[in-house]
Structure 1
């Protein structure tokens, strides 16, 4: 990757994280993928060196850096060979905490964020539901307040919740006003930072989902059945959760774009190394334009997506600035940039990973060369947290002014 134009902080992050990741070779990730083992040693190593707090306030034990630096960290992790599995083992701790850090009260922030940064607690993001999918505004999980106002009772189901099996906390988006009683679907949603306590609190169940890639991290269906949560777990104002959670959603798109870039650059590097060394018909296969041109094209796609990704991350950080309000970037611009970056990086990663497998020929199918694992994982950013088609719908409506299609 060409690194001209990055800040000193970004390059320092890239180099330090790459050094740490070198302690976890590809064999580590192959084994954890095959046996579906959580990479707890990797998570602990990042926590020990303070990386989980990269974009969290210094007064809470974080580094006080931005999503620009966090995106570089996630790219370096994926690029090291850890792929999406390595990135997903920690990225929820980075983006899911952004709404808490910005909108939580002092007690919530001080009681939760330092323990996430230290690695004592892990967190997950509870938004997606099986019957609404990408239609977030129509989710049905209901949090009903008790008569004395001390508790909420949560009933509903979430799906594709990464790391729920190992998480202590969940950032939960739920309805506090039923959909039928609001004027607009964006109203009536509230955000909570809750404990996941299956052992001592009834009404909570989790079921792991067997999946194609990223097997080292768990994905889950989470069921709530009158699960009690304290009223003081509410983040910000009741019924204002959707506006609050956008802080985490745009951050997530930036981080995921960085992860996709890392995966793509790793794939191109592995493929070009193989193409230089593999000799067929008396010469390296990389001398053939049928091999060289697809890889060169994949690299250029990654470079273009890289610029879009770090542009989006920079806008996100500017939108969070505490300086002159008139200089802040509006959230709509951040949303457009973050969705664009996520789309372009995911497509570039898919192109790179597919061509890496094809460059290896039959050996691209072998576990030991890693490219088959990366190909399985590169489908994640094309699908989540929002599909390619929904990104195009969003750009069509918000940027091009076309009629809404959904």
Structure 2
């Protein structure tokens, strides 16, 4: 298979899409506006996803999971994001938080943490960013000090998605301050561990249904066996994780772009001005054509990156960054155009496209800003 071959979804992937879309339209979409308006966690979405084994489809079958491949995971996230980006962060962040355990964790860690995740008994979050270490993640200050058979963690993590809701947290901490990125190790911390606490929810522009909070570690003492991989390998594990999970952000972006396009297309076909549907005007037709073209380009790039993620291809770092960057830029363009197509109505909360536009913005920022993605791509040119 050449580097430019695209991954073609199978019949099973098509059936999965139809099944997820039906579920989303029945159980998640009706609550999307209220979740945003009330800035509350989408409990209805969590219950629906868990009941249908879609909350963490990436978990291997040997740990009780669905064993979905990377493309199937992308399709689930895409279809949920088409209606509610906040809800799509449930399967997306469960993968982000647990993937370090899957990539580098011991057999015991996998058994202990992947099984309850697969059963829907717990969610998993990812703690990398800090108040003074965002894009420069290697500059983190959270410390982990060895004390016999335990490690003691102290520090603060910021911008942690689903913080306070998740039971498990993959935490990156400095174990050797002199070694910079090679002195960072990864740990699993549980919400119930003494010394773990959370800040107030951030007041965000979008994804208001997904709580974003600081996580505080005040003398958190955990068993040494909760280290993920060998000491000093945490930063490398974190970067490997992001190579895979940036594809899930591309999927979110793709989903919200598709949702906004679908709504705007239906609206302009029904809305009449000057005695005919707005969709009859060539200027509007050109806008719709450009929106559809960009969405399809983003979809092909995202699916190709998902295939590379599944195969572990050597150029995944470039392809994952490219998919995330391109798809999120497309999402911002398409959702903004959708607001424009609805005119004044698009600017009100009575219609979903203004929420979609606000939600789309975060896909250009988290898991590495798109400026950082371009740095990553430039350093890993194929």
TM-score by shorter chain over 0.5: yes
SS of equivalent to 1:275: helix
Distance 2:322 2:35 in 1: 32
1:72 to 51, 70, 75: 75
Q: Take 2:11 and 2:97, find their aligned partners in 1: how far apart are those partners?
A: 26
Query: Is residue 16 from structure 1 mapped to residue 11 from structure 2 by the alignment?
Result: no
Structure 1 runs of 4+ with >4 Å offset: none
Change (3 A) 1:371 1:143: same
What does 1:331-370 correspond to in 2, within 5 Å? 333-370=315-352
1:301-324 Cα distance to aligned partner (Å, 9 max, x none): 1111111111111011101xxxxx
Q: Which residue of 1 aligns with 2:181?
A: 186
Residue 368 of structure 2 corresponds to which residue in structure 1? 386
Query: Quick check: 1:275–1:284 contact (8 Å CA) kept in 2?
Result: yes
Superposed, 1:253-264 pairs within 5 Å as 253-264=246-257
Separation in structure 1 between the aligned mates of residue 73 and residue 346 of structure 2, nearest angstrom = 31
Q: How does 1:149-160 map to 2 (within 5 A)?
A: 150-160=149-159
Give the aligned partner of residue 127 of structure 2: 126
- Partner of 1:97 in structure 2? 98
DSSP 3-state at the match of 1:191: strand
Per-residue CA distance 1:267-302 (angstroms, 9 max, x = gap): 111111111111111111111122221221111011
Output the CA distance in 1 between the equivalents of 2:363 and 2:198.
27
252, 257, 260: which one pairs with 2:245? 252
Query: For each residue in 1:206-238, what CA deviation from the matched residue of structure 2 results, as whole angstroms up to 9, or x when unmatched?
Result: 321111111111001122222222212101111
Whether the 8 Å contact between 2:57 and 2:91 is mirrored in structure 1 is: no
Query: For residues 4 and 59 of structure 1, do their structure 2 counterparts lie closer, same or farther at Cα, with a shift above 3 Å needed?
Result: closer
Structure 2 gaps of 5+ residues are 1-5
Distance in 2 (alpha carbons) for counterparts of 1:102 and 1:252: 12
2:169 and 2:189 in contact (8 A); partners too: yes
CA deviation string 1:356-405 (max 9, x = no partner): 001001100222210010010000111111111111122223328xxxxx
CA root-mean-square deviation:
1.7
Q: Work out whether residues 55 and 64 of structure 1, in 8 Å CA contact, stay in contact via their aligned partners in 2.
A: yes
The alpha-carbon deviation at position 203 of structure 1 amounts to 5.3
Q: Hey, what does 1:290 align to over in structure 2?
A: 283
- Give the whole-Å Cα distance in 2 for the aligned partners of 1:392 and 1:53: 29
CA–CA separation in structure 1 for the residues paired with 2:276 and 2:213: 49
Aligned to 1:324: none
Q: Structure 1 length normalisation: TM-score?
A: 0.89
Corresponding residue number in structure 2 for 1:114: 115
Contact map agreement 2:7 2:304 (CA 8 A) in 1: no
Partner deviation per Cα, 1:249-281 (whole Å, 9 max, x = no partner): 122211110111010011111111111111111
Match of 2:3 in 1: none
Looking at structure 1, the residues matched to 218 and 371 of structure 2 have their Cα atoms a distance apart, in angstroms, of 33
Question: Which residues of structure 1 form unaligned runs of 5+?
Answer: 320-328, 401-406
Greater alpha carbon shift after TM alignment, 356-365 vs 246-255: 246-255
Note the C-alpha offset of 1:204. 3.2
Q: 1:351 to 1:389 in 2, by over 3 A?
A: same
Q: Deviations over 1:174-200 (max 9, x none)?
A: 11111xx11xx3201111111022xx7
**1:207 match:** 200
- Secondary structure at the aligned position of 2:125 is classed as strand
Instruction: Look up the SS of the partner of 1:229 in the other structure.
Output: strand
Q: C-alpha deviations, 1:57-102, integer Å up to 9, x for none?
A: 11111122211110111111112x12x2111133111232122123
Q: Distance in 2 between matches of 1:361 and 1:203?
A: 47
Give the Cα–Cα distance (whole angstroms) in 1 for the partners of residues 240 and 14 of structure 2: 25
Change (3 A) 1:203 1:66: closer
Aligned counterparts of 1:57 and 1:282: Cα–Cα separation in 2: 57
Aligned residue for 1:110, secondary structure, equals helix
Separation (CA, whole Å) in 1 of partners of 2:27 and 2:347: 22
The residue number in structure 2 matching 1:268 is 261
Contact 1:38 1:218 survives alignment (8 Å)? yes
